[in-house]
């Protein structure tokens, strides 16, 4: 298991782009599919997508048109961009490590609350 | 509407046993491994069970998992008040090509 840390603005205006970054331990960037998962207040977990260190990505079909996940291996970071946000995108956003067999999610960051409001 | 179906809540007395079900289809649970996550109030989820029935180090053996066909079950024996949490099942969905979760089950230890 690994320690993950999300960072980014806690408030985003409607129609703008939500941007978050997750820092992973040095040396681990090639070991997992690096994922984003969110949880609206009082609701369940929703998978957003993942990226591998070589750049291949996978996105939730319901969010695919608005999501981009990227990786910077030199900084041991991966990032989430969610475009054209609305109040429905208000959630705690978690970065997480999905094992490459796709069998389980190994570790989670502490989560960061992003509120969409003007 | 979650792809995997869990009961919204379960409850039992301290010391008792509880099971939480997770129902899916042939493209997710029926084809892939299931994992379970515990989310204590105000915290991030934590891996409890992987590969249907394996426990990560540090998870006690009173926690168990099983899978049959397109359903999976989490079992917790010797319930403690510290077990009060939300529990989520998860797996890869081959048809959607995406990770899917159950809607979560709130466990109350009466």
- Please indicate whether, in this complex, the C-beta atoms of B88 and A46 are within 8 angstroms of each other: no
Nearest Cβ partner of B98 from A44, A61, A106? A61
pLDDT score for A30 = 87
* Nearest residue in B to A94, CA atom: B44
User: CB contact, 8 Å: A44 with chain B?
Assistant: yes
pLDDT score for B7 = 98
Q: Phi and psi of B69, rounded to 5°?
A: 65, -120
Percent of chain B with pLDDT over 90: 98
Predicted confidence (pLDDT) per residue in A53-107, tens digit:
898 999 999 999 999 999 999 999 999 999 999 999 999 999 999 998 889 999 9
Predicted confidence (pLDDT) per residue in A32-55, tens digit:
999 999 999 999 999 999 999 898
Whether pLDDT at A29 is above 90: no
Residues of chain B with a CB closer than 8 angstroms to some CB in chain A: 2, 32-33, 35, 37, 43-47, 50-51, 56, 88, 90, 92, 96-104
Predicted confidence (pLDDT) per residue in B46-58, tens digit:
999 999 999 999 9
Whether pLDDT at B1 is above 90: no
Q: Are strands A11-12 and A112-116 parallel, antiparallel or unpaired?
A: parallel
Q: What is the mean pLDDT of chain B?
A: 97
Chain A hits for B103, CB-CB cut-off 8 Å, are 44
pLDDT score for B32 = 96
Give the pLDDT band (50/70/90) at residue B95: very high
User: What H or E segment, with its residue span, contains residue A85?
Assistant: none
A residues 47-76 closer than 8 Å to B (CB):
47, 49-50, 58-61
- Please indicate whether, in this complex, the C-beta atoms of B47 and A104 are within 8 angstroms of each other: yes
Nearest Cβ partner of A45 from B46, B97, B101? B101
Predicted confidence (pLDDT) per residue in B14-65, tens digit:
999 999 999 999 999 999 999 999 999 999 999 999 999 999 999 999 999 9
Residue B85 to chain A, least CA–CA distance (Å): 13
Give, as one character, the DSSP assignment of residue A64: G
DSSP letter for each residue of chain B:
--SBB--SEEEE-TT--EEEEEE--TTTTTTS--EEEEE-TTS--EEEEBTTTB--TT--TTEEEEEETTEEEEEE-S--GGG-EEEEEEEEETTTTEEEEB--EEEEE-
């Amino acid at each position: 298991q690994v320690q993950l840390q999300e960072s980014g603005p806690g408030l985003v205006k409607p129609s703008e782009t939500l941007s978050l970054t997750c820092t992973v331990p040095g040396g681990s960037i090639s070991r997992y599919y690096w994922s984003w998962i969110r949880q609206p207040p009082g609701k369940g977990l929703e998978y957003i997508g993942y990226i591998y260190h070589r750049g291949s990505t996978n996105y939730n079909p319901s969010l695919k048109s608005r999501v981009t996940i990227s990786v910077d291996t030199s900084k041991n970071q991966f990032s989430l961009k969610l475009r054209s946000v609305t109040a429905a995108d208000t959630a705690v956003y978690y970065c997480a490590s999905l094992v490459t067999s796709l069998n389980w999610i190994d570790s989670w960051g502490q989560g960061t609350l992003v509120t969409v409001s003007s | 509407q979650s792809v995997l179906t869990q009961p919204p809540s379960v409850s039992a007395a301290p010391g008792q046993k509880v099971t939480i079900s997770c129902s899916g289809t042939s493209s997710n649970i029926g084809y892939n491994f299931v994992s379970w996550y515990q989310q204590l109030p105000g915290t991030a989820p934590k891996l409890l069970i992987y590969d249907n029935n394996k426990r990560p180090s540090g998870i006690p053996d009173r926690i168990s998992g099983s899978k049959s066909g397109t359903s999976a079950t989490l079992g917790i024996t010797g319930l403690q008040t510290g077990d009060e949490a939300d529990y989520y099942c998860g797996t890869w969905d081959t048809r959607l090509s995406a990770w899917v979760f159950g809607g979560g089950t709130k466990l109350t230890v009466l």
